[in-house]
Amino acid sequence: MTDQHDGTRCVHAGLPDPSPGQPFLPGPVFAAPYHLDPRQGPAAAPNGYGRPDNPTRRLLEAAIGELEGGECRTFASGQAAITGLLLALLKPGDTVVLPTDGYFPVRAFATDTLQQVGVTVRFVPTAGPYPDLDGVRLVLVETPANPGLDVVDLPALAARVHAAGALLAVDNTTATPLGQRPLDLGADLVVASGTKALTGHSDLLLGYVAARSADLVETVTAWRTVTGAVPGAFDAWLAHRSLATLDLRLGRQTANAAALADLLAGRDDVTGLRWPGRPGDPAYPVASAQMRRMPGVLSFDLGDADRVARFLDAARLVAAATSFGGLHTSADRRAQWGDDTPPGFVRLSCGVEDTVDLVADVTAALDASR
């Protein structure tokens, strides 16, 4: 389906072949054990036990795999996917390079867990510069980074990583596979939280890992099987249902982010605006060349925590909430979670409200919060 456009691919991704009397997307299959063949056992059918086997989950994995351009394995959350990837691939004595400005629980996991089991952890800003990579086992980048929205040139970095004999994994949460396909850009693995824009309805937790290497897929699959970090059938079904509108949702979210970036850039009471789709943004030269569409997330600084609270109190369309990528516009003061951002730093996730309404609401809320 690579010859078709994004909207078509999203609507049809992972659906079974048409069968008279059957729904387009079968409902979730809830099962722990399945009937086994009394002689051949699990070899006779694709389903034996619910931890490694579930047909609803396989359909979702086929859908995400089509969009990412690789084979996919889903996890119970984005954090389960990324920690599972790290623990499956790294062993004592290995070295991993992680972003200093990426999702902070990953950094906490690296220092609290990976270092404790003998993995050497190096931290590098997403935009670089990157050190000599000789002896490194894995480089993990998040681009655009969450929450600062820096980007890295993936083909250039992939060339350096592979020249050093290492693997490159890319956290594609912010971009989604419609924003960029890291496997096409040289990455060995993609990891992402499907909780956010991929599913976009703020009603489930999901993560996934995708790769084209059968060996890497098998390593990740084996880890997931023995640790059990699988999503439930209903969450997998909800996620697959939600994929059909991904193109439509991202289109409105990107348009809203562009309009709000223009608004915020013209205000003298807002500083630190970042959105990689804005020509004046430091990330724009790489992002505009590398990404297929820009995210619906932007960040800025309102000076202090109290002004952020006044802004959110005054807004009618902007909810105070963590996570991002949902239908409803939300804003998160990241410092309240222990993230090392300034007290007035805001990550704003654009929903699918009408652009003119959202711009008017944010304008009024900023005025009221002065």
Rg, the chain, Cα only: 21
**Closest among 29, 69, 93, 57 to 221, alpha carbons compared:** 57
pLDDT at residue 2 in the model: 59
Distance CA 334, CA 347 (A): 7
Q: Are residues 106 and 89 in the same domain?
A: yes
What b-and-e string marks burial along 234-273, b requiring 16 or more CB atoms within 10 Å of the CB?
Answer: ebbbbbbebbbbbbebbbbbbbbbbbbbebbeeeeebebb
Sequence-distant (6+) residues with CB within 8 A of 290 are 151, 153, 154, 155, 180, 185
Domain-ending residue, one of 198, 228, 243: 243
Kindly report the backbone phi and psi dihedral angles of residue 167, in degrees, each rounded to the nearest multiple of 5, phi listed first: -105, 145
Q: Name residues of the chain where pLDDT drops below 70.
A: 1-2
256 and 239 belong to one structural domain: no
pLDDT at 64: 98
Buried b (16+ CB within 10 A) or exposed e, 12-34: ebbbeeeeeeeeebeebbeeeeb
Residues 106 and 135 in one domain: yes
**Structural element, H or E, at residue 307:** helix 305-314
Range of the domain at 215: 6-243
DSSP 219-238: HHHHHHHHH--PPPHHHHHH
In sequence order, what DSSP letters do the residues of 273-287 get, joined into one string? EE-TTSTTSTTHHHH
Q: Within this chain, do residues 44 and 102 fall inside the same structural domain, yes or no?
A: yes
| Per-residue pLDDT, 3 | 82
Is the Cβ–Cβ distance between 170 and 61 less than 8 Å?
no
Residue where a domain stops, chosen among 243, 271, 288:
243
Regarding whether 263 and 122 lie in a shared domain, the answer is no
Tell which residue, 147, 205, 149, 141, has the closest CA to residue 172: 141
In this structure, the answer to whether residues 223 and 266 fall within a common structural domain is: no
d(CA 326, CA 187): 27
pLDDT (0 to 100) of residue 205: 98
CATH number of the domain that residue 322 is part of: 3.90.1150.10
CATH of the domain at 37: 3.40.640.10
The number of folded domains in the chain is 2
**What are the residues facing 167 on neighbouring strands?**
138
pLDDT of residue 168: 98
What pLDDT, in 10s, does the model give residues 38-79? 999 999 999 999 999 999 999 999 999 999 999 999 999 999
φ, ψ of residue 346 in degrees (nearest 5) = -125, 130
Q: Can you tell me the distance from the alpha carbon of 231 to that of 204, in angstroms, rounded to the nearest whole number?
A: 10
Residues 206 and 286 occupy one common structural domain: no
Q: Is residue 1 part of a domain?
A: no
Closest C-alpha to 148, from 273, 249, 320: 273
CB atoms within 10 A of CB 280: 9
Question: Where a domain ends, among 243, 270, 293?
Answer: 243
Residue 43 has a CB neighbour count (10 Å cut-off) of 9
